[in-house]
Structure 1
Amino acid sequence: MVIVGGGLSGLVAANHIARRGLPVAVLEKASAVGGRAITREKHGFLFNLGPHALYRAGTLQQTLRDFGIAVRGGVPTGAGGYALYRGRRHTLPTGLASLMTTGLLDIAEKIELARVQTALPAIDAAAADRETLSSWLDAHVHHERVRDLLRTIVRVTTFTNDPERQSAGAALAQLQLGLKGVLYLDGGWQTIVEGLRRTALAAGARIVTTSPAVGLERHNAREVTAVRLADGTAVRASAVVIAAGPDDVDAISGQTRLASTLPSPVRIATLDVALRSLPRPKQTVAFGVDTPLYFSVHSALARLAPQAGALIHVSKYLRPDENAGREVEQELERLMDDMQPGWRDRVEARHYLPSLMVTHAEVTAASGGLGGRPAARLAPFDNLFVAGDWVGPRGQLSDAAAASAVDAARLATEAAGHAAQRSGAAIQIA
């Protein structure tokens, strides 16, 4: 079997197949595996590509446990954080004490927020899959400030800033998952990449980098026989999983038109900053309530910086049609000025990413919520499958990447078994 793509989905799929004693090759176009989960080191600071959090009860974490991969880190609670509203900092209401003391809400708003938070675990999220987040909030939340705060939390948990189109069911499901906590990882998300790479190789998988796939060879309209690389090499396969974005699937398959039919990607603009030290060590978290902004010192909870150093993510959640240039970078710098005055004199390194793709397709109400995403089996093929954060009915973000990879690997294994019964073929380089 062949996996095209060595990001999280591709590595999870490879592990799933190799652990069953089956031959599998991973073809990655870049010089290293990991995709958007890579972590870069500079001056001792570990930069993820924007803010990353591993959901403790999510599919990716469970999959890592199944593979025997342990990760460590800190659990953010938001305690001591700020809610930014109309140019002022207010206590972020994360628990009973902070809810009672925050100046962000009046008494009636505090009572309503407490009611919503209490009811959240029991809400049937799937029932709201085809309802927009804005519509759901209008129907269930009376106070506009409480709606604003809930939209804030949805942005943080889903990275999506599109309440007029976002599926309320998907948003609520992610809020429910978030109640069980997330991890900021010691060593960054590269620890996940390296763990998956090592276990895949140990199980017998082959990983080949700098090997861009450009097309497929077929026995007939429904059966793929090989993956064709840019250098003309054909990698024979009894089944293929394309663990990549919809644009790549369209280009490689030569038959689908997924990219033009899916909702818009989810993107953020992010300024990632490494400081020698924090001017205000206690000011580590802030979320915009009336602006889609995010500030978090991830190194306060995870080992990402040298001693006394700080690794900070400052981000703006972009609307689908929004472009971010220098003006957004300046907006993020002003947030840094507010939260960490004097930071500019302590910079060790900084990266600005004006349009970082978080997930390839928003989960919208119009598309049917999570259940409306493309299936892992790619029609009309019998042995071609897809995986990624835009595929399948389970999970969002990296959890969707892992869940769809497991589904695609299982289906590919079944398809390869049928092919082996017919021909006895195995993967080989032609």
Structure 2
Amino acid sequence: MTSPSVTRNGRRVVVIGGGISGLASAALLAKEGHEVTLLEKSSEVGGRASSWESDGFRFDLGPSWYLMPEVFDHFFRLMGTSSAEQLDLVSLDPGYRVFFEGTPEPIDIPHGLDENVALFESIEPGAGRRIREYLASSRDTYDVAKRRFLYTSFRSWAPLLRRDVVTRLPTLGRLLLQSLDSFVARTVSDPRLRQILGYPAVFLGSSPYETPSMYHLMSTLDLDDGVLYPQGGLTTVIQRIAALAREAGVSIVTEATATRIRTSGGVRPAASGVDWVDASGELHTAWADVVVSAADLHHTETALLPIALQTYGEQYWASKNPGPSALLMYLGVSGELPELEHHTLLFSRDWHDNFRRIFHEPKSIPSPPSLYVCKPSVVDPSTAPAGHTNLFVLVPLPAEPALGSGSLPGPPPLATAREAPGHSPAPPSRSITQVPRSSKPSATP
């Protein structure tokens, strides 16, 4: 249904991909008056932020951290609403818990700047003052990035020529030339605190030894702003954005696999439509004045565009490190696991070895690996049956095809908590595993 406040301007837009970026783009374009069709290859929208339900458990299959809330606020305002109206957000305190190999006691990251300053000071005398300075730099860098870079299409150099950017160029240059790990080492010496400050590099698909220290800005998100959780999970965010898109007039077509972006024109070709195949295999064409691809850049360039129009062809991608892969486990647990928080990180002692195995040849599975566990049922009972616990486990691994690709949903395999993750040639990607209640998380991942 089209919103009565929207006036159509006659331009036809086709959006490829119904993940969060495709849905948000489609919603905003429709709100501006365009006639928008969104093509999603799966039966449900969401992309990597989709969900799966089985035996009373509901799992977010992809992202599980709700960070940068002001970006969501910005989108909802543009759509004429607010995060408060669309979502039920809960502040997590602690934001997350961290276990360290060889250390019996975990560290809980509290909510709030002053609380984290006190935490760092209690662990390393003098670190409180230095982490306050670190987070002040993080905040400043984050605010500039958000103000000048986040909401620009980079069609011109104008965002780079603003006074607040130009005056910071020497600082920004140093942050780009120094690794995050080196920058962190100037702030704290305790290896546990260094891992806490270096971990955000993993969110970027990189390592603290290779990520520019510019990205220390991400520590603002958890140590200063705090961590939130939308009740119902990240899939609720997708549902609300999809609902707003439909209200604005977007036609969402699922089980529609884009096969080609049509182009027309000679010297300056332009997109003219998208060929797509439905679930029965029938070919269709959605004609358009504008095509927006929210699919993976590699897929868009190499599979949907003709070679002559590819900015990044196969040769470009062949020279790039693909970044990390991951083993994902979705576990339904009978009973409670009080040792785990909503977000729990387990860090191995030798990070150099962990990241070397993941990013550099010869690649191999870290032993032991660091890993991440999400337990949403601690604050969201809708994710698990009464008396049970919902666990999402992510183990970073090298992007190595020989490790296997996971199985399709099927009868739940029998398993115990003592199985070594990541060593099966075809690990199950989705299963309900009954974990013995006596199994407890170890300080050694």
TM-aligned CA distance change 1:187 to 1:93, over 3 Å? closer
Q: Quick check: 1:241 aligned with 2:292?
A: yes
Residue in structure 2 matched with residue 307 of structure 1 by the alignment: 386
The code of the aligned residue for 1:64 comes to F
Q: Deviations over 1:131-178 (max 9, x none)?
A: 3223323455445443233224554xx2645122223212x1221123
Q: Is the 8 A contact 1:50 1:270 kept in 2?
A: no
Report the CA distance between 1:130 and its aligned residue: 4.2
Separation of aligned partners in 2, 1:228 and 1:270 = 33
Find out whether 1:147 has 2:205 as its counterpart: no
For residues 204 and 377 of structure 2, the distance between their equivalents in structure 1, rounded to whole angstroms, comes to 20
Q: Does residue 112 in structure 1 map to residue 127 in structure 2?
A: yes
**What are the Cα deviations for residues 370-407 of structure 1, in whole angstroms up to 9, with x where unaligned?**
xxxxxxxxxxxxxxxxxxxxxxxxxxxxxxxxxxxxxx
Stretches of structure 2 that go unaligned for 5 or more consecutive residues are 1-12, 146-171, 350-368, 407-416, 423-432, 439-445
1:238 maps to amino acid = D
Q: Is the partner of 1:175 in helix, strand or coil? A: helix
Task: Give the Cα–Cα distance (whole angstroms) in 2 for the partners of residues 100 and 85 of structure 1.
Answer: 23
The 1:187–1:258 alpha-carbon spacing in structure 2 relative to 1, beyond 3 Å, is farther
Q: 3-state SS of the aligned residue for 1:88? A: strand
Answer yes or no: is 1:293 the counterpart of 2:371: yes
1:282-317 per-residue CA deviation (whole Å, 9 max, x = no partner) reads 543542233522233221122422333211222223
Q: Is 1:129 matched with 2:164?
A: no
1:263-342 paired onto structure 2 within 5 Å: 264-278=322-336, 280-281=337-338, 283-284=340-341, 286-289=344-347, 290=349, 292-302=370-380, 303-318=382-397, 330-331=419-420
SS at match of 1:174: helix
The 5-angstrom pairing of residues 2-401 of structure 1 reads 2-50=14-62, 52-55=64-67, 57-67=69-79, 68=81, 70-78=86-94, 81-86=97-102, 88-92=104-108, 94=110, 109-112=124-127, 115-123=130-138, 124-125=140-141, 127=172, 128-152=175-199, 154-155=201-202, 158=203, 160=205, 162-170=207-215, 172-178=216-222, 179-220=224-265, 221-230=268-277, 231-250=282-301, 251-254=303-306, 255-256=309-310, 257=312, 260-261=316-317, 264-278=322-336, 280-281=337-338, 283-284=340-341, 286-289=344-347, 290=349, 292-302=370-380, 303-318=382-397, 330-331=419-420, 344-345=435-436
Task: Letter of the 1:133 partner, please give it.
Answer: L
3-state SS of the aligned residue for 2:58? strand
How far residue 217 of structure 1 moved from its aligned partner, in angstroms, is: 2.2
Give the 3-state SS of the residue equivalent to 1:165 in structure 2: coil
* Residues 348-383 of structure 1, C-alpha deviations (whole Å, 9 max, x = no match): xxxxxxxxxxxxxxxxxxxxxxxxxxxxxxxxxxxx
Q: Identify unmatched segments of 5+ residues in structure 1.
A: 334-341, 348-430
Tell me the SS of whatever aligns to 2:35: coil
**For residues 323 and 169 of structure 1, what CA distance do their matches in structure 2 show?**
34
SS at match of 1:281: coil
Contact 1:3–1:242 (Cα < 8 Å) also in 2: yes
TM-score normalised by the chain length of structure 2: 0.64
TM-score normalised by length of structure 1: 0.66
- Classify 1:93/1:110 alpha carbon distance in 2 versus 1 (closer, same or farther; 3 Å): farther
Whether the 8 Å contact between 1:30 and 1:210 is mirrored in structure 2 is: yes
For 1:62 and 1:267, the matched residues in 2 are separated by 31
Seen in structure 2, the aligned counterparts of structure 1 residues 184 and 136 have a Cα distance that, compared at 3 Å, is same
- Judge conservation of contact 1:214–1:252 (CA < 8 Å) in 2: yes
Cα displacement string for residues 14-35 of structure 1 (whole angstroms, at most 9, x for unaligned residues): 1001112221111112222111
Counterpart secondary structure, 1:148: helix
Over the matched positions of the two proteins, sequence identity in percent amounts to 22
Match of 1:384 in 2: none
Q: 1:100 to 1:22 in 2, by over 3 A?
A: closer
Alpha-carbon spacing, 1:197–1:329, altered in 2? closer, same or farther (3 Å): farther
SS at match of 1:264: coil
Cα distance in structure 2, aligned partners of 1:35 and 1:76: 26
Question: 2:159: which partner in 1?
Answer: none
- CA shift, 1:98, in A, is 8.6
Residue identity matched to 1:241: V
Question: Aligned-residue CA RMSD in angstroms?
Answer: 3.5
Q: What amino acid maps onto 2:232 in structure 1?
A: G
Q: Which moved more, 1:317-326 or 1:3-12?
A: 317-326
Which one is further off, 188-197 or 93-102? Answer: 93-102
SS of alignment partner, residue 436 of structure 2 = helix
> What SS class does the counterpart of residue 75 from structure 1 fall into?
strand
- Which secondary structure does the structure 2 equivalent of 1:55 belong to? coil
> In structure 2, what is the Cα distance between the partners aligned to 1:247 and 1:240?
16
> Secondary structure in 2 aligned to 1:78?
coil
